[in-house]
Amino acid sequence: MMTTKLLLLPGDGIGLETMAEVVKLVAVMNEATNAGFETETALVGGSAYDDCGKPVSDATMDLAMQADAILFGAVGGSKWDGVAYDLRPEAGLLRLRKDMELFANLRPAICYPALAGSSSLKREVIEGLDILIVRELTGGVYFGEPKEIIDLGNGQKRAIDTQVYETYEIERIARAAFDLARTRRGKVTSMEKRNVMKSGLYWNEVVTRIHRDEHADLELEHMLADSGGMQLVRAPKQFDVIVTDNLFGDMLSDIAAMLTGSLGMLPSASLGAVDAKTGKRHALYEPVHGSAPDIAGQGIANPLAMIASLAMCLRYSFAMIAEADALEAAVAEVLGSGIRTGDIMSDGCRKIGTAEMGDAVRDSFRKKLAA
């Protein structure tokens, strides 16, 4: 039996608690399907900084490069607010994304039927929501140079961040979005700020060309990113796949996340290019939520986004479609049974903690695998 290497990077805060629930599910797959998963756990973020003075060590980076996929929890917390900028916990995640060339960030926003009432929007606006935001992840303003704060010498300073995109970066994220749309409803909405930003103007030009030359049978629309944020709140079901740059993708995906009722419900995938020789790609899967240090260690965190990230891992890294479908169905079934963690609690439901929610999903998942 071939083995598959999963690197677990729980990180900080609730990342440790939610990752523990994923470990249960990996064990179920190994028992029920002989999946052959081998896991190794390493430090990242604040915990890594406390251990070795870096947010991710070179040894952990070596493990990441060798892994078939990475499951990532969350990093950060007020404990590390005074750490130098380039050593902050989040820099560990940025290094993983950059060094592994994880250029495509996939963030689904799905409204489970049982949670339609948890959204701040009306049920008829949100029920049945299923959109996918494809965010460019290794370029743009987060990585552009120069990036600095300059002392002007007169009591004033100038802070500089640079928005930079090259042709190939836009081409590959556009292709990823069109390829994904082809497996869904066939519509891509590209969002930028071409009215005020040269990078947005060029983004629009390149996406238009890729559509015309390679995917003309699919639907493409262009929308200014600020208008897109408004439309996500007004009528989110008009969208299928949204493709956008690093900065706007960060903001728009959080808006989309809250449409569903809780950041604790949403997973994400960060994918590299497929290696032409091996057919494999680097991939990292993580929940959209943060480390939530205010509730860490209390056993009350919602593990479902971390669990859904495992489902994305099964789907995109290992083509285990039946298992991914079964895991997502298990989450829906558990929610339909009326149990909730505190962040998604509603009238008439029973409130439970992290481990009990994980156990419920595990038990449902096991039954579905055996069916």
Q: What is the pLDDT of residue 123?
A: 85
**Mean pLDDT per 10-residue interval, the chain, length 371 residues:** 88 97 97 94 98 98 97 96 95 94 94 81 88 95 95 96 98 96 96 98 98 98 98 96 97 85 82 87 93 96 96 94 96 95 91 98 97 87
Q: What is the pLDDT of residue 1?
A: 52
Cα torsion 333, 262, 316, 19 to 10°: value is -80
Assess whether 86 carries a catalytic annotation: no
With 0.75 as the threshold, say if the pTM is over it: yes
Can you name the residues that pair with 40 across neighbouring β-strands? 7
Contact 45, 75 (CB under 8 A): yes
The residue annotated as part of the active site, out of 130, 254, 359, 363, is 254
The residue annotated as part of the active site, out of 24, 54, 193, 368, is 193
CA distance 11 to 284: 13
Q: Is the peptide bond before 293 cis (omega within 30 degrees of 0)?
A: no
The residue annotated as part of the active site, out of 12, 49, 54, 142, is 142
Assess whether 254 carries a catalytic annotation: yes
Contact 10, 73 (CB under 8 A): yes
Contact 240, 181 (CB under 8 A): yes
Assess whether 226 carries a catalytic annotation: yes
The residue annotated as part of the active site, out of 99, 130, 161, 226, is 226
Contact 255, 149 (CB under 8 A): no
Assess whether 142 carries a catalytic annotation: yes
pLDDT tens by residue, 274-306: 888 888 899 999 998 899 999 999 999 999 999
List the structure tokens of 357. 């929610």
CA distance 77 to 75: 7
Q: What is the pLDDT of residue 121?
A: 83
Q: What is the pLDDT of residue 96?
A: 96
Q: What is the pLDDT of residue 118?
A: 74
The residue annotated as part of the active site, out of 245, 250, 285, 368, is 250
Assess whether 250 carries a catalytic annotation: yes
Q: What is the pLDDT of residue 346?
A: 86
